[in-house]
Structures are given as C-alpha cells and as structure tokens.
C-alpha cells in the first residue's frame, strides 16, 4: 500500500467536494490501486469557520506555506482561484518537486506555458481537468481520446452560469438578475460573478482549448469577448420565433492560416445539439479530422462536478506516471506558431439585428439604404407589431457581413431620428 500525501490549498466549495469524494472512495482506491489517498494538510485563510467532520487526522492551517514546506506532501491541489497568490503557489509546488493539480482556468490561461516549462524541468506534472467544463473530461478527451486527430474547430458552451441564466430567462421568463441570483445560490458562479457574465471565464477556458487543439497559446486580450448582460427577453423570444436559440458560445476555428477566436452570445439553429444544452450544462462540439464531429455534454459547474474532475486528476497523476502533462496539442505546435488571430473587424458572420423604430412609411427604406451602403445584404425582415406613429421592433436577419461594416452601419442608423433606441445586434453561427 502506497500512501499518497495530499496538500489542499483552498477549502471552499470545490475543496469540500474533493474531501467528500476522497472520503467516500478512499477504501475503494486502496483495494483497487493499493494507494491510500490521504489529505495530510488543508490550508485555507478561514479554515476555522469551515471545519468539517472526518478531518481528524488532517492538519488544518490558515498558512499555505505549511503545505509548500512539507517534504512529505507529494501532490498539491490548488483551489483558491485567481492569479495571486495562486501563481506563486503553483511555481513553488513544482520547484519543490511536488505535482500540481488545479481547477484554476485563469492561472492556466495566463501562465500555462511557464508552468508547463517549470513542470518539465522538475519532472513533475500539472493536471487541470476541472479548469474547463468542470467534471466533463474534455481535456483528457482532446489530449488522449482524440490524439490521432487534427482540429478544425472548437465550439463550446463553457460557462455554466451564463447557460443557466439564458436557459431560465427563456424557460421560466426570469429576469437576468433573478436567474443570476439563482445560479449564485446554486454555487455555479465565480466568487466574482462579473467574470461569468462578461464572458471572461469562458475566454480563459477557450485559451486552454485553443492551446490543446491548435498548439498555440493566445492571450485573452488577443481576441474578442462579449458577455450576456445586454440580452433581453424580447430578443430571446423573437429569435425563438425564427427557430434560433441564444447561447454564450466560445469559438475557435481555423480559417486558412488564421484562427478565428471569439466569445459572445450567439444565435444557433434550434435543431443543433448545442442549442439543446440547457441549465448549468456545458458542452463542447469539436470538428476533427479524421473522426469528424464530436459532441460532449455534462454538468459544467457546481461543487461535485468540479470536484470529480479534480479527483480524476489525482488518480491519473498517481497512476499515469508516464504522462507528465496533458499538454501535447492536437495540431502540430509549429503549425500553431504560424497562425495569426483574425481581427474581429474582419470576421464575417450573419447577424440578427433588432431596431426600435417609429412605425411610419419610409422608415425601412432609410434603414435598408444604410445597410446597403455598407454591403450588408438582408435575408429576412419582420415587424413585430403594428403601432402607427409609435415605436415598434423590427427584426432583420442578414446574410454574412463583415463585423466592422455592421458596426459602422449601426452607428449611423442609431443617429437617425426614426430610430428610438440603440439597435441590438447578435451574431449567428453556422455550425
């Protein structure tokens, strides 16, 4: 029986979930693998308030140095999130010859390269299955299950909070604030939910997916990210009538020598698998070669799902000594290095646009005139109600149009006297 001494830094929602799983499976792991997974130390700033039964033999401390300085600890699980002090902790874990497991997407997205280098030098592992999709084994699917494939594109619903909000706004007519409050109460949101709703959480996860599939580390500031706080009931309903569903989509696809990488609310056909992903679920749709389309879905946020990813890392780090870091990319690294990111201005998508305009003759002619001047071709137009002389919503779907032309046209249209509020534009994606 080999004893595996674990140090856990950060005993919040996920940390407590990890302890629950290890407690219930400790005997099973002993019997199956002859390994005793023992949590030797837990460090958490407010550990006193979080004492839970069953940790009698575990040393509890507010000082994480007790974990870093303990030579008998083999593996450190970092679950405090954020960059500071998580980065310093991660580096000193590896430098002191311990393996690192983390669910910290921000850390891997910003410092992955540095950490992997450090791990290679130290002959230690960095595992981070829970950083994307919580317990959904997307990282292992890409790096191991799809190792024989090249990746043309990744399309992900990778923020549970946003998906929960959008689904519940649509299904139960909740307001944005009501749905957000519920997501927070259920423990899906980050401690600062702004990162969820402004798309940054999904952007961090997308950086990881881009690296794993394309072999290129991109920065979150290198691509366009837009959140969901401007999405209204009306647009969800109008789009629904056009057979479209709205989801916060993280997209990364190869277009020649460019990578089209972005995160934004996206309208997708109702019949596509991604449109059926509801509530807190996450899903990743991969366009691979030669395997073709792969779709993986599961609960993407929450205590036990994230904890399940962490525990699977733990078991794999211990059992798979052959696999130091799950970092090899699906596409050759040299190819990835040559790729540039397509500027959002140059991206071409179809658009849903809602105008609030005065209902009188000639209004549509003015608007379509401006769109025409910007080479934007209209696929359909619907006026949502009749209200002579008063304000009415007009919804248009465009054909593929360049982002900067749409932005310029809408700026011009916004200044027209017949237009009563800022037009709402939502990108559509062909999948």
Residue 267 has a CB neighbour count (10 Å cut-off) of 26
Task: Given the residues 205, 270, 360, 384, select the one marked as catalytic.
Answer: 205
Q: What would the DSSP string read from start to end of 221-234? A: GGSEE--STT--HH
- Report in angstroms how near the CB of residue 268 gets to ligand HSE at its nearest: 19
Q: Is 166 or 424 the residue whose CB approaches ligand HSE more closely?
A: 166
Q: What is the 3-state secondary structure (H, E, C) of 61-123?
A: ECCCHHHHCCCCCCEEEECCCCCCCHHHHHHHHHHCCCEEEECCHHHHHHHHHHHHHHHHHHC
- Between CA 366 and CA 225, with CA 236 as vertex, the angle to 5 degrees is 85
Give 296's contacts (C-beta < 8 A, 6+ positions apart): 133, 136, 137, 138, 141, 283, 284, 286
Could you give the maximum distance between any two Cα atoms of the chain, in Å? 83
Token output for 324: 């130091």
Q: Which of 111, 80, 110, 109 is nearest to 94 (CA)?
A: 111
Tokens representing 246? 């709205």
Residue 176 φ/ψ, nearest 5 degrees: -55, -50
Which three-class secondary structure state does DSSP give residue 207? helix
> Least distance (Å) from ligand HSE to the CB of residue 12?
12
Tokens of 342: 């397509």
Asked if 325 and 113 count as a contact pair (C-beta separation under 8 A), the reply is no
CB of 301 to ligand HSE, least distance (A): 4
Smallest distance, ligand HSE to C-beta of residue 11, A: 17
Nearby residues of 358 by Cβ (< 8 Å), 6 or more positions away: 389, 390, 391, 392, 418, 420
Is 35 part of the annotated catalytic residue set?
no
Residues of the shown chain interacting with ligand HSE in the complex, contacts defined by CB under 6 A: 134, 159-161, 188-190, 196, 201, 300-301
Between the alpha carbon of residue 25 and those of residues 22, 52, 219, 308, the distances in Å are 5, 17, 38, 11
Q: Which is nearer to ligand HSE, 326 or 336 (CB)?
A: 326
Of 107 and 189, the one with the shorter C-beta distance to ligand HSE is: 189
140, 143, 147, 151 alpha-carbon torsion, rounded to 10°: 110
Q: Is the peptide bond before 290 cis (omega within 30 degrees of 0)?
A: yes
Q: Please list the active-site residues.
A: 205
């Amino acid at each position: 029986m080999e004893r595996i001494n674990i140090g856990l830094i950060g005993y919040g929602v996920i940390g407590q979930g990890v302890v629950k799983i290890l407690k219930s499976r400790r005997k099973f792991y002993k019997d199956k693998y002859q390994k005793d997974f023992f949590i030797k130390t837990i460090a958490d700033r407010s550990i006193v308030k979080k004492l839970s039964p069953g940790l009698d033999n575990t040393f509890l401390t507010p000082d994480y140095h007790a974990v870093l300085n303990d030579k008998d600890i083999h593996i450190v699980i970092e679950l405090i999130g954020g960059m500071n002090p998580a980065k310093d902790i991660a580096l000193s874990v590896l430098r002191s010859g311990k393996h690192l497991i983390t669910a910290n997407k921000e850390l891997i997205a910003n410092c992955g390269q540095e950490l992997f280098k450090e791990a290679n030098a130290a002959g230690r592992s960095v595992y981070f299955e829970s950083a994307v999709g919580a317990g959904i084994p997307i990282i292992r699917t890409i790096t191991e299950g799809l190792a024989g494939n090249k990746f043309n594109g990744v399309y992900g619903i990778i923020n549970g909070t946003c998906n929960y909000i959008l689904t519940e706004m649509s299904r139960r007519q909740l307001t944005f604030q009501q749905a957000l409050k519920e997501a927070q109460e259920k423990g899906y949101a980050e401690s600062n939910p702004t990162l969820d709703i402004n798309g940054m959480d999904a952007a961090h996860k997308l950086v990881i997916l881009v690296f794993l599939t394309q072999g290129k580390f991109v920065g979150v500031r290198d691509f366009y990210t837009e959140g969901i706080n401007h999405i209204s009931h009306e647009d969800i309903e109008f789009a629904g009538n056009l057979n479209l569903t709205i989801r916060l989509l993280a997209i990364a696809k190869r277009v020649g020598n460019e990578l089209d990488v972005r995160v934004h609310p996206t309208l997708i056909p109702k019949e596509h698998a991604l449109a059926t992903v509801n509530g807190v679920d996450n899903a990743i749709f991969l366009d691979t070669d030669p395997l073709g389309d792969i779709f993986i879905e599961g609960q993407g946020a929450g205590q036990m799902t994230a904890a399940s990813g962490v525990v699977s890392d733990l078991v794999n780090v211990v059992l798979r000594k052959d696999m130091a870091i799950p970092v090899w990319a699906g596409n050759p690294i040299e190819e990835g290095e040559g790729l540039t990111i397509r500027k959002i201005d140059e991206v071409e998508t179809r658009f849903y646009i809602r105008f609030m305009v005065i209902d009188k003759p000639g209004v549509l002619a003015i608007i379509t005139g401006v769109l025409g001047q910007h080479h934007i071709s209209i696929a359909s137009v619907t006026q949502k109600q009749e209200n002579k002389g008063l304000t009415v919503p007009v919804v248009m779907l465009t054909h593929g149009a360049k982002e900067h032309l749409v932005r310029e046209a809408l700026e011009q249209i916004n200044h027209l006297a017949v237009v009563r509020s800022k037009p709402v534009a939502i990108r559509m994606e062909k999948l």
